[in-house]
Structure formats: structure tokens, C-alpha cells
Amino acid sequence: MAKRVHVLRFVVRFVSGATSQMEQAVQHFGLRRNRSWAFSRQDSVEKLERIARSPKSPFCSASGHWKASSDPCASSCSSRWDGTDTPEAPLEVPITESRLPRVRRVAAAGGGACKFAPLFRNSLHVEIEPVKELSAVVDGLLVLADIGDTARLDTEEESCRTDLFTIDECGRLLPLPWPKQLFPLILVNMGSGVSILKVDSARSNDYTRVGGTACGGATFLGLARALTSARTFEEALLLAEHGDASKADKLVRDIYGDDGSASLGLAGGLTASNFGKLSESSGLCECSEYDLARSLLQMVTQQSVLLATAYAKHADCLDRVFFVGGFIDEPNRLARAAIAQNFRSLGGCAYFLRHSDFLGALGSLHHAFQDLEEHVEGQ
């Protein structure tokens, strides 16, 4: 993804990793950085010692004492040279502020921006500047909307590069242009938990968190580990791909029958109770771990769909609901397909983003650019 800021063009590359490995990774890079800096500093000290031993050194007077100098290297040295080839003591070069690795600031969102701030400061000499997570997610969406391709893409190659898409009836990715009327919109951020935001305009912080649920991606993985052999998110999704949720869930037709469902005006295949069949004595025996994983995925997905639908109807933007976050990123095709189908049946449209897992990073980058522009304008 590329973005132009003034006359400069930036290429943004996304890298994903497990939060549980963050501490080990930062400490590893910090150790390598400090070793590299230490070797560089030792090389500078050795060069300074060789200069100091030379009678022609510009830093030494005829009597062998250090001369005053505006050179920061000379003014930071405190040893004396007596005119002989061997100094009275090893040359001491105090670690002043100018000799420390330069401290950099990085804008970051999410819990890690606070939790790992001391780790980044101590290991990498990087100061984390926290950005409000929900603000960063909204800003990230608006960044993509600002630079997104508004024309429909025809070729398959171009379709793979589009930022915005939905899922069609056959489960295929369908590229879409950004809505001509973007606001108001509903933004459903699905991570460990779920937050639902109503965004009213592109103005800064013009959004409201209207609701959410604690039933999110962490719920899916936690229960999958408890109920199946899966130990990772990818393994749980692989199980769900081969499962049948109807073997674990109680459907409307299981309660009312097909005729009764029709008389109620309800589709017989609607879920009446997640894992409802497990309450029956024979239910667990007829369920495989594949079915359990699929039912889990459906339960988590349905929670967010039901809430988002209610808020979208209230805001009159059922055709502008954006689902983002790590839970519905590229590997989770099943969840995206289920969400799209639900909204399509209601006459609406569920949008997905190619960079949905990185909106917080994009929003943080946007925050950093804003700070840079304000700094430049203030000079």
C-alpha cells in the first residue's frame, strides 16, 4: 500500500506476529542493537586513544594537557597525557547524552502500547507514544478510504489488490468501490473481544462506541482449545472448515419442524440455540470436534452480526457496515462468508478490508504524520 504525503511517496509494509512473542523478540533485537553500538563505540575510543598519543594531536597542548575545544569529542574527554607514549591511566570517554543511542518515538495503539512501553524504552531506546485504540482504528479506515480506488476493478489481478470487498453467494471475494455516501457507518472491530462504533464523519474523533460483546476471537480460541484438539487459531479454523454446526446447534426446525417454522415466518435453518443439541443425552455422541469448532465459530460470528445489524438499522446504514480486526482476517474465510450472507439476507452489505488487521497501525501512522506536520508548521 502506498500513500503520498505532500510530494513524498511512502510504501507501507505490514508484518504480523504473536503478542506472546513480543517480549522475547524485542529483547533479542535490543541485545543485537546494544552489541553493535558497543563495538562502534569501542572502535571510536581506540581511534581517539591513537590521536591522543600523537604529539601532533590538535587536542593536546605542548605540556601534554587537553586543550579546550569546541569539538564535542574533545570536551567530553577528561584524561591527561604527559607527553610519553603511555597515558597515566586508560583514556576515559564518559557516556554523555550525545554518545547514547538516539531515542526515537513510535506511535502505537492497543494494550501493548502501554504494557510494552518500558520494554521498548530499555531494550531499544524507543519511546512509545500511545494512541487511543479506537481512534486509531477509525483513522486507519479513513486513511484507506482516502487513498482507496473508487473505481470497480475488472481483472482478477486487480481484484486481489483492492482494499475493499465483500463475499458473494458462492464464497468468492467480490471487490467493491467505496460507498459514495460513506457516513454514517458502522465499524465492527473483531479482535479478542468486539467493539462496535458509529462513525459520523471524517472529522477527528467524530465517532461513538455504541456497543460490543466479550464474545470474540479469544472466546473462539479458548473454547476450541478446551473442546477440541486445536492448540492454535489456525488449527481451530482448519477443524471448523470440515465441520457441520447443525450437529451441535439446535435449529428452529428442530423445535417447530419445517411447517411450524414456515408458519412463524422463520427459516428452519436459523440457529435457535448455540450448542443446544449437546443438552440432549445423545447430542455429544453425534458431534465430532470438527462440528464443535464450526459451531464455536458460528456462535462468535452470530453475536457480532446480531448486534451490528441492530445498530446499523438504528443508524439507517445497513448498507455501510465494515467488519475489521484480526478475527476476520484472511484465513477466516468462513466467518466472512457467514457475515456477508447474513447482511445480504437483510438487504444490506457487509464490507471487509484487505488490511483489516492493521487499521490500528495505519491510524497510529496517521497520528505520527499529523504530529510531524504540526512540528514543521510550528518552525
Catalytic center residues = 133
Asked if 129 and 350 touch (Cβ cutoff 8 Å), the reply is no
Q: Give how far Cα 209 sits from Cα of 33, 34, 308, 361, Å.
A: 41, 43, 12, 20
User: Going by DSSP bridges, is the β-strand pair 185-190/321-324 parallel, antiparallel, or unpaired?
Assistant: parallel
For cell 426446525, name the residue: 253
Residue 4: strand pairing partners: 9
Q: At what angle do helices 133-147 and 359-378 cross, to 10 degrees?
A: 80
* Rounded distance between C-alpha atoms, residue 206 and residue 139, angstroms: 10
Upstream peptide bond of 72 is cis (omega within 30 degrees of 0): no
Tell me the three cell numbers of residue 350.
Answer: 457487509
Tell me the three cell numbers of residue 321.
Answer: 457496515
**What burial class does residue 4 get, using C-beta atoms within 10 Å of its C-beta: 0-12 exposed, 13-18 middle, 19+ buried?**
exposed
For cell 557516556, name the residue: 95
